[in-house]
Amino acid sequence: MDRDSIIYAAGISYTIFNHFTKDKKIFYSKDRGGIGSIAVHPSKKYFAVAEMGQMPNIYIYEYPSLKLYRILRKGTERSYSSVTFSGSGDMLASVGSDPDYLLTVWDWKQ
C-alpha cells in the first residue's frame, strides 16, 4: 500500500495493517462468501478485492481514503482465485475458480 502499510486477506475479511503505528483496520466481505484475492495498483492509489460467493464481485477502492471506486460484475460464477493489475495499471486480470476458471481482462476504469 504505502511504505508503512500492508494489506492481507484471511477468510471473510481483509486487513490493512500499518507496521509502524500498529494501526489495524479490518474489513469484511461485501458478498459474504470470503475474500478470494487482493491486488494493489502499481500507483498504490487503488486496490482490488476479489470476492467469493454466488456471482461474486471485484471491488476497487481508492487508497488511502478507502472510498469504493468501482464494482466489477459477472467475471466468474463462484470465486476469484487470482487478481492482478497490469504493469501500467490500465487493465486488471482476474481468474475464476471452479466451475468456470474464467480469465477476464478488465478495462477497470471504464
CA angle, corner 15, sides to 12 and 21, nearest 5? 160
Task: Supply the pLDDT for residue 46.
Answer: 97
Residuewise pLDDT in 10s, the chain (110 residues): 788 999 999 999 999 999 999 999 999 999 889 999 999 999 999 999 999 999 999 999 999 999 999 999 999 999 999 999 999 999 999 999 999 999 999 999 98
pTM of structure: 0.94
Domain CATH for 62: 2.120.10.30
Domain range enclosing 85? 5-106
Task: Supply the pLDDT for residue 77.
Answer: 94
Residues 64, 45: Cα–Cα separation, whole Å: 7
